[in-house]
Amino acid sequence: MRVTTLFVALALILLPVADLSTAGHDPWPLLGRMLAGFARPDFAAVETLAHALSLTVAFAVAAVALGAAAGFAMAPFYDRWPVRALCIALRSIHEIFWALLLIQAIGIGAPAGVLALALPYAGIFAKIYAEQIEEADPRPRHALPPGTDAISRYLYACLPLIRAPMAGYTLYRLECGMRASVVIGFIGLPTLGFQLDSFFRKGDYGAASAILICYVVLIATIRLWMRPKLAPLWLALSVVLLARIDAPPMGEGAVWRLLSEDMIPAPLRAGEGLAGLIPWLREMTLTEILPGLWNTLIATQIALVLTGAIAFLGFGLTVAAVTGRVGRLAGHLGLVVLRSLPEYMLAYLFLQILGPSLLPAILALGLHNGAIIAHLLGREAAAVTPVLRADAPRGWSLWGWELVPRLFGRFLALCLYRWEIILRETAVMGILGIATLGFFIDSALAELRIDRSVVMLVVIALLSAGIDAISRHLRRRMKLRPVTGADCAAV
Amino acid sequence: MKARLDGAELGYGAATVLRDVSLTLQEGERVVLLGPSGAGKTTLLAAIHAQLIARDERVALVPQDHGLVPQMSLRRNVYMGRLDDHGAVRNLARLIYLPRGLRDQIAAVLAPLGLSDHATSPVEALSGGQRQRTALARALFRGGGMLIADEPVSAVDAMQAAEIMALLSARFTTAMIALHDVALARSFATRIIGLRDGRIRFDAAADRVTDAQIARLYG
């Protein structure tokens, strides 16, 4: 309870400091036009729509397949430090930043998009698969003849045990991949985000609405079309589709130049040594890192509390005993929509309406993450309700008296678990023009000052490692049941 | 001599389960461990097994929890008894395709255990008794002269249990088995060890152990 109060109080203190202005925007007329457009989805641009959707799926499928294969290969060796360090490094950079970097390195094309998702996912898959290997029932392993080699041991007595959870997690990652695939469209790759952006620029809200509806349906039905047996087919189709994307040619040796020159801090490149490096770092810290950091942290803290509030009030919506059958259906629908739309895309929508400030970012993060936690809690609540006594209350009294007390620990654990995720997403939203760290990374990259962006990426990695450490510490001190990545997967 | 304990203290981690254990296991002996649950039978079996392994003996093992892979077919679970006879590449290939010759060998092991109809069923689809017989099939398929088994017939009916024990004594020259069925123990064993409260209460040739001695273990 103390921790909750602390977090809420901190957010309330930060509220007046945060830039939440609507920047002289009068959002109402625009909102009216948008809503009118959304109410009348326009499926006329079928071809563009199908193309953008199929490429969105193709990027996600190819990247998840590649990342899963690499992670699968690394997982058995995850306890060795070089593998672990590589995976942490891969994971610590967000998909979108990978995309921005890769576009610089290998040009805007299918490989950049696929790798942008596959590289961080390889690190995540390696970690989760390694956890699943570790948690596998040890008894079949112990019953093996003692001289059995390690590979046979793994293939016979471990892999069959964890195949189902592995497949489950991979499917969940595909869902994440679909969201990330949309978002890389906003920085120029030919996925749904790109199409959505151009529809918005033209004010064609009907077409934008159509594209959003198709996308939500696609995500909601993922379990129907993504079957293990069909996976090779989807993968082959994805590769064919991606191979047909035209990419502008890149100069020879662009990758090497990026690694050997562009990424080296400018003063070192110019041979000024440490004497040049310190003023360079100080200048960047004062003008970009500190302001970016400040805004990132403010937005993160407020968004975290908003996430908590939405999850706390929202999880009851999906429990039939609280809201009734119709209410439950509506609750599910609302949460599915908010969960499927990536926070970046939500922020983009809010930004159109509210203008650039921290407000769109906070709203988007709160709604999306709140919906995810509400969904997970709702599932646990649904598992609790049948075992309650026959004379248990119903409706919102059930929520308040039976569910909240039982699930509050879980609720806190999930919020703290997503704290770091919220931080990373907040940083990324800078690319939309909101003054978080991503804004400065994006502008440094646009000016081809790769060295500066690398420093800021390191800052974000350190910051998220710090938040992660605090979050773990808090969860341990409050003796909360640990949340694993796989917990969120079993949707 | 196959294995020997001399005044040993045995247990899991820091907790001692068995105190002051001295015994020698000779080639050709069929030893049955009797005693109430918690007496230390499993611990004693584990200690003897570890010693045999350390001497590179080929031991067929039937753990109490069977150690099967539920998601895999019965047949492949049986094959796992010989994983250490082959390298990783061959084992991987057999995970994908089990050659005819091996399938026949496994079928020969399954027939007397009454498992022939289930060779391709996943173990998780089998009944408790069938799973136990699968674990026994793995031990029989592994072969060798030595068997360590922990309650290997607890989940099959009395008739079958007697048949299986006869099969085991025909296939393995030396064995150490924990049982709870006294009649079965008497018909199978050449030597019986009685355990209670973490100590060996008696250790003698099967025909010299009296019913009163056994009754005191459980009383």
Which amino acid type is present at position B23? Answer: L
Residue B151, phi then psi, degrees to nearest 5: 50, 60
Q: Which residues of B touch A143 (CB under 8 A)?
A: 61, 63, 66-68, 135
Structural domain span for residue B151: 3-58+144-218
**CB interface of B with A, residues 154-173, below 8 Å:** none
Note whether A195 and A326 are same-domain residues: no
Residue A376 has pLDDT above 70, yes or no: yes
- Interchain contact, A161 vs B69, CB within 8 Å: yes
Structure tokens at B10: 């045995």
Whether A431 is covered by a domain: the verdict is yes
The domain total for chain A is 2
Distance from CA of A487 to the nearest CA of B (A): 22
Higher pLDDT, B158 or A28: B158
Cα–Cα distance between B18 and B46 in angstroms, integer?
A: 12
- Give SS3 for B173: coil
Q: How far is A152 from chain B (nearest CA, A)?
A: 5
CA–CA dist A333, A330 (Å, integer): 5
The candidate with the shortest Cα–Cα distance to A482, out of A136, A163, A131, is A131
- Residue B185, domain member (yes or no): yes
Tens of pLDDT, residues B151-175: 999 999 888 999 999 999 999 999 9
The CATH number linked to B23 is: 3.40.50.300
H-helix segments, A93-158: 95-106, 110-135, 139-142, 150-157
Task: Say if residue B13's pLDDT is above 80.
Answer: no
Same domain, A307 and A199: no
Give the DSSP per-residue string, A164-224.
Answer: HHHHHHHHHHHHHHHHHHHHGGGGTSSSHHHHHHHHHHHT-HHHHHHHHHHHHHHHHTHHH
CB A353 within 8 A of CB A30: yes
Q: Report how many Cβ contacts below 8 Å link chain A to chain B.
A: 67
Does B102 map to a domain?
no
Do residues A318 and A240 share a domain?
Answer: no
Looking at beta carbons, which residues of chain A come within 8 Å of B65?
139
Tell me: pLDDT of A364 over 90. yes
Phi, psi for B70 (deg, rounded to 5):
-60, -35
Quote the domain boundaries for residue A488: 279-491
**Choosing among A151, A156, A161, which should be mutated to test the B contact, i.e. which has the most B CBs within 10 A?**
A156
Up-side HSE of residue B19: CA atoms within 13 Å toward CB? 6
Beta strands in chain B (DSSP E): 3-12, 15-25, 30-34, 59-62, 146-150, 174-178, 191-196, 199-205
For residue A25, being part of any structural domain is answered with no
pLDDT tens readout for residues A110-154: 899 999 999 999 999 999 999 889 888 899 998 888 888 888 989
Contact indicator for A43, A208 with CB cutoff of 8 Å? no
Q: Average pLDDT of A162-166?
A: 90
The Cα–Cα gap between B138 and A145 comes to 10
Q: Minimal Cα–Cα distance from B28 to chain A, Å? A: 22
Please indicate whether, in this complex, the C-beta atoms of A161 and B70 are within 8 angstroms of each other: yes
User: ipTM of the assembly?
Assistant: 0.78
CA distance A167 to chain B (A): 14
The whole-number pLDDT of residue A484 equals 66
Interface contact flag, A142 B63, Cβ < 8 Å: yes
Give domain status of residue A111, yes or no.
yes
Residues 6+ apart with CB under 8 A from A233: none
Chain A within 8 Å of B93 (Cβ-Cβ)?
no
Q: What single DSSP character describes residue A287?
A: I
Measure the CA–CA gap between A137 and A133, rounded to whole angstroms.
9
Task: Quote the pTM value.
Answer: 0.82
B68 touches chain A (CB under 8 A): yes
CATH code of A214's domain: 1.10.3720.10
Residue B122 lies in a domain: no
Q: Is residue B149 part of a domain?
A: yes
Shared domain for A326 and A183, answered yes or no, is no
B206 close to B190: Cβ distance less than 8 angstroms: yes
Q: Do residue A147 and residue B84 have CB atoms under 8 angstroms apart?
A: yes
Three-state DSSP class for A333? helix
Interface contact B84-A164, CB threshold 8 A = no
Chain-chain contact of B61 with A143 (C-beta, under 8 angstroms): yes
What share of chain A has pLDDT > 90, as a percent?
Answer: 25
What does each C-alpha distance from A205 to A179, A199, A209, B137 come to in angstroms?
Answer: 20, 7, 6, 67
The confidence score (pLDDT) of residue A389 equals 66
* Pairing of the two strands B59-62 and B199-205: unpaired
**In chain B, whose CA is at the least distance from the CA of A150?**
B88
End-to-end CA distance of chain A: 28
- Provide CB contacts within 8 A for A372, sequence distance 6+: A311, A339, A418, A488
Q: Is residue B108 part of a domain?
A: no
Confidence of residue A170 (pLDDT cuts 50, 70, 90): very high
Answer whether B83 sits within 8 Å of A153, measured CB to CB. Answer: yes
- Statement: residue A491 has pLDDT above 50: no
Chain A environment of B132 (Cβ under 8 Å): none
Structure tokens at A143: 């019953």
Domain presence at residue B203? yes
Instruction: For residues A25 and A355, give the distance between their C-alpha atoms in angstroms, rounded to a whole number.
Output: 6
| Chain centroid offset of residue A164 CA | 23
- In a domain, residue B138? The reply is no
Distance CA A239, CA A40 (A): 34
pLDDT bucket at A252, cuts 50 / 70 / 90: low
Q: Does B152 lie at the interface with A, CB-CB under 8 angstroms?
A: no
Could you give the number of structural domains in chain B?
A: 1
To the nearest whole number, what is the mean pLDDT of chain A?
85
